[in-house]
Chains A and B, each alone.
Chain A
Amino acid sequence: MTMIEALRDAMDVKLAQDPKVLIFGEDVGYFGGVFRCTAGLQAKHGEERVFDTPINESAIVGMAVGMAAQGMRPCVEVQFADYVYPAFDQITQEAARLRYRSNETFTCPLVVRMPTGGGIFGGQTHSQSPEALFTHVAGLKVVIPSTPYDAKGLLIAAIEDPDPVIFLEPKRLYNGPFHGDHAGKSTGWSQHPAGEVPEGHYSIDIGTAEVRRAGTDVTVLAYGTMVYVAEAAAERAGVDAEIIDLRSLLPLDLDTIRASVEKTGRCVVVHEATRTSGFGGELIAEVQEACFWHLKSPLQRITGWDAPYPHATEWDYFPGPDRVARALTKAMED
């Protein structure tokens, strides 16, 4: 399966299993979503379970908060993560706080899916990676898969989670892995082992990371598209990197991170999002606190530049394998 098909399958499984599950957002109903993630779901499960909404993100999430509090399990879509900002009030002030402020008498089992990340010539408002804006909010969970297998298992877990989950989908990975070489030929998920997705129900625990490549030289903390960029970079640099796909940013699997950095003594954090106050800052702080006496070289972060995502100069902006490879080499030299 592609990641698109895996996500669709996750929603299909939950729609069939739980009458409380609802899917809605802009163009997700009859048309099946601008990325086809919900194609066929309305025809199969009916308009009362899968439907189109007006173009208003605050309305989409606000309705979902009310529904979730009443007992439904809404899994809603924001067409691009770049357009989540009108819903920021509902997500951060309402969904995230409802359980806490009502002393657990109202809860918000809600998933907000949103395509994220660049590498597609999306320009300023089709490429952003706003994860750090959500990891700063107590009460939210923040998840970002990098494979079709994880996408399905994590989305099922997110729909079943009793708390609100921000589910970021790297759209660059929708149809196949992307190692950052935009000039090279891209291959689809059918030729990648993680494209093997089981039928039916399975889930992956939110809050667990996955070691994608075992190594001894340096730990790379990555998520989304950057997992594959890191793989390419390790090969290019000839460094035996241990690449950890965080999968869940909040809560964070600190145990897996700590075990790796204590082994390697070196750590490079990679993300597409801009650098200043990005999630990388949090990762570096956690690693420094947890692994200080094991560190052999300064912690580094390779990220998008502190500028809005450009169109023409995309590949100078996107943290590609060359930049990551240089960081890996530097980590070994320091």
Chain B
Amino acid sequence: MTGQPKLNFPHPPARPDQTPNFSAIEIPAAGALDVPPLDLQSVDSRDYANGMIRVLDDEGTAVGPWAEYIADLDSDALLQGLRDMLRMRAVDKRLLNAQRQGKTSFYLQCTGEEAIGCGFQRQLSGGDMNFPTYRQQSLLIAADYPLRDLMGQVYSNGCDPLEGRQLPIMHSSRDYGFFSISGNLGTQYIQAVGWAMANALSETGEIAAGWIGDGATASNDFHAALLCASTYRPPVILNIVNNQWAISTYTGVATGGARTYAARARGYGIPALRVDGNDYLAVAAVSKWAVARTRAGHGPVAIEWFTYRVAAHSTSDDPSAYRAKDEAAAWPLGDPVARLKTHLIGRGAWSEERHVQAEAEILDEVTKVQKEVEAQGTFVNPQPTSPATIFKGVYAEMPAHLRRQRQEMGY
């Protein structure tokens, strides 16, 4: 039958006046997929790109080949992962509060996505470089980045390693493998490829990891990065965090008719895997595999981490205006902290009591550092940065015109 051409406008499963509905999302059983060889080729990655690697089943038991692949990850390592995530959540909670109290101008949480950055970072080595977006603060937490620096940046105060130049959450730390965050989406993805190419050329043995959200996969540099990674095959892991939302825009607008983002990467000739992003064990296992593959010189790999953005996009956003209330509670992959907790309790390494106690201890630690950092200045209690820093670091050496402008300002 022929008819009038009609445009398609993708819609989320539910709007504010509707009941959350994720019935269209297919969740394969845990343990269903094998661990492929490290030299996996793109053509052989179809099942990984269209399926979903999962380790923890509904009871919190680790099952399948990927569970065996990380059998050496003992309870201590998993408890470390749990503590990383709790720490991340506590930091997000405290800094969100600080923004609500007017102590900082802006904040952005990663609630629900903690497992991805925390699990990935623990598989990297010193010298490896992440090219994160603004929602990978979990990489810093799991890298044991000093909370003082992290919070100082958010307060733009005397503890800020960036001396107040950057919007809160745009961290940068070369020493902790965290490339300078830019407000411009997608740009860092191709830079990660360039960095990895330089690693290969200078034989450092180090790798790079690009990060991008589902919405930003629409940017030109997503294409640029996948293409160049495919062409030159540098040691880079290209991560796509699919949290279903790009501010108010449902992920279907960015995926279009494609089934998964991993499949999109595969179309460039890069082997791609899709992973349960709320399953810390799956994150750890696939990260371990991807790091080993990349470091061994088998070329790039793309990973779609399937998750859900529980919190608002940022402190300037109110999700109740565009998505169903309590949608996070209905998310079929659950909560990463709760799932790892259940697993650890199941293997006898943890208990509800110890969990409650750990949460309290971690919140205390974070609050203590926060108070120390706030003593160095906040928005409501500013300790001004010298305006002369405006002119510092625009260039390696200050040109005459900048010196004149600084003098005009009185410095």
Contacts and interface: CB of A to CB of B under 8 A. Distances in A.
Interface of A: 20, 22, 48, 53-54, 56, 58-59, 62-72, 74, 86, 89-90, 93-94, 97-107, 138-139, 141, 162-163, 207, 251-252, 254-255
B173 interface: yes
Contact of A105 (B174, B187, B220, B231): B174
A105 B395 contact: no
Given A58-B190, A163-B396, A97 B220 contact: no
A89 B187 CA distance: 8
B191 A63 contact: yes
B187 A93 contact: yes
Contacts of B401: 251-252, 254
Given A66-B190, A66-B193, A103-B162, A56 B395 contact: no
A62 B198 contact: no
A103 B396 contact: no
A63 to B, nearest CB: 3
B201 interface: yes
Contact of A100 (B194, B197, B225, B393): B393
Nearest to A74: B194
Contacts, number: 142
A97 B182 contact: yes
A101 B162 contact: yes
Contact of A67 (B161, B184, B195, B394): B195
B161 A66 contact: no
A59 B184 contact: no
Interface of B: 129, 131, 161-163, 165-166, 170, 172-174, 179-180, 182-184, 187, 189-199, 201-202, 208, 220-221, 223-225, 227-228, 231, 393-396, 399-401
A56 B224 contact: yes
Given A66-B198, A89-B187, A98 B180 contact: yes
Given A62-B224, A107-B396, A139-B395, A93 B180 contact: no
A104 B394 CA distance: 9
Contacts of B394: 99-100, 138-139
Contact of B190 (A59, A97, A104, A254): A59
B35 to A, nearest CB: 30
B367 to A, nearest CB: 27
A66 B195 contact: yes
A15 B366 CA distance: 50
**Among the interface residues A69, A70, A74, A98, which one has the most CB atoms of the partner chain B within 10 A?**
A70
A106 B174 CA distance: 7
B228 A59 contact: yes
Given A62-B191, A105-B172, 17 more contacts: A59-B190, A59-B227, A62-B224, A63-B228, A67-B198, A70-B129, A71-B198, A72-B202, A90-B221, A93-B182, A97-B182, A99-B395, A100-B165, A102-B162, A103-B172, A162-B395, A251-B400
Contacts of A71: 198, 202
Nearest to A206: B399
A62 B174 contact: no
A45 to B, nearest CB: 12
Nearest to B183: A93
Given A101-B172, A102-B162, A251-B399, A58 B221 contact: yes
Given A22-B201, A138-B394, A139-B395, A102 B194 contact: no
Contacts of B194: 62-70, 74
B400 A254 contact: yes
